[in-house]
Amino acid sequence: MPQNNNPAEQLTLKILYLTFYFEPDLCAGSFRNTPLAKELARNIDNSGEVHIITTFPNRYHSFKQDAAFFENQKNLFVHRIKIPSHSSGIFDQARSFATFFRKAIKISRGQHYDLVFASSSRLFTAFLGKIISIFQKAPLYLDIRDIFVDTIAEVVKNKMFKAIGLPLIRLIEHYTFSRANHINLISEGFEPYFVRYNKPQYSFFPNGIDPEFLVHNEIDITREPNVKNIIYAGNIGSGQGLEKIIPTLARALHPEYHFTLIGDGGKRRQLESILKLDSLSDKVSLLPPMKRDDLIRLYKTADFLFLHLNNYRAFEKVLPSKIFDYGAYDVPIIAGVAGFARSFIQENLPNSIVFEPNNPDELILKLKEYKYQLLHRQSFIDTFSRDIINRNMAESILKYAKL
């Protein structure tokens, strides 16, 4: 980070932006935070700076992408931290975050920030923001993308961790959220959980549709007419539960339907093993994570866009970012979700097939009854453009900056 030794420069508005994921990483956190940080920098222009502390690309173990330790894009400064490699396990992720936490504190030391902003899914980036905001005596604005305590209580099976780690995480959550100035919740389904924290002001800026998907959202009309291509792109982990449902669907829907899954994660190897064991590899194409340009080209070949969350109660509150990417296309959406995501899709995304998570029989029946059609969702696009959401959220964030 640049050092400001000139007294005149101390008058410049400086915002610290903390995010574990940033470009060129391939994940929802990166896609949310990269354009939002740039929108903030544009808003303050010559009157201030946005200093980002983030990591090198690390979301997928199989995806490697070069990035610089430090970048300066006009009034946007990006400092990347090298963290130990991890493969989505709770303990190696904790080790990686400990490195990020320690080095971020070191980088921010000696700086003066007027506002600390932290975008967090796993709680600890928010906690890091709280610690730095105390050192800086600056307001804290949190962007919460997941309820970590809820999720980890269901996903992690290690009894020792639940007995010792979970109570500690709850204390960290209470300390962090109860003392923030503002909390943005990415899903309105989170609101009932957060009523216990009544000091912060709240907003509900969700994910949105990125411009890339709006410019290149036409469908390839030369698709194979006799085989419907069902495409999923994203993480392949315990949260998605694809290993529980894709084999059954592939077996039942072949040869009329073919699945194409793009991504990586903790359950990919298990899914691959099941497909090979059951001789389903020709019915499901498994592709590695890919850059957005390549992904968009593949989306154009889709007949359906697929989404599935495991049947954890915690996931009934979430609103997956994938919904917004899919909504830019005219093809039908297949979504195995419950709770808030289910009601959101039913209210905002016509031409969608929604079924209960981990219930392949329900989806098979609905597909047999479904009359295929393409439908342009202009109202959804107008409401949930990422550009519009970022503009409004940047205005909200800047209200807390001290000049």
Q: Is 158 found in the same domain as 72?
A: yes
Tokens, residue 112: 């003066």
Q: Higher-confidence residue: 214 or 258?
A: 258
Say if 403 falls within a structural domain.
no
The secondary structure element, H or E, covering residue 268 is helix 268-277
Q: Is 392 found in the same domain as 325?
A: no
- Residue 230's Cβ-count burial label (10 Å; 0-12, 13-18, 19+) is buried
Domain count, the chain: 2
Q: Is 285 found in the same domain as 217?
A: yes
Q: Is 238 found in the same domain as 107?
A: no
pLDDT of residue 274: 96
Each residue's pLDDT tens digit, 69-105: 999 989 999 999 998 875 556 777 788 899 999 999 9
Band (116; pLDDT cuts 50, 70, 90): very high
Between the alpha carbon of residue 122 and those of residues 20, 80, 145, 309, 363, the distances in Å are 10, 19, 8, 17, 31
pLDDT of residue 9: 46
pLDDT of residue 84: 84
Percent of the chain at pLDDT exceeding 90: 76
pTM of the model: 0.91
Q: Is 180 found in the same domain as 270?
A: no
Each residue's pLDDT tens digit, 15-38: 999 999 999 988 899 999 999 999
List strand residue ranges (DSSP E) for 24-134, in order.
48-55, 70-73, 76-81, 115-120
Contacts 24+ apart (CB under 8 A), 188-193: 188/319, 188/340, 189/316, 189/317, 189/318, 189/319, 189/339, 189/340, 189/341, 190/144, 190/147, 190/317, 190/318, 192/317, 193/147, 193/150, 193/317
Q: Is 108 found in the same domain as 227?
A: no
pLDDT averaged over every residue in the chain: 91
Q: Is 280 found in the same domain as 339?
A: yes
The whole domain housing 262 covers: 211-383
pLDDT of residue 339: 97
Say if 158 falls within a structural domain.
yes
Q: Is 357 found in the same domain as 281?
A: yes
The CATH number that applies at residue 324 is 3.40.50.2000
Each residue's pLDDT tens digit, 134-178: 999 999 999 999 999 998 888 777 788 888 889 999 999 999 999
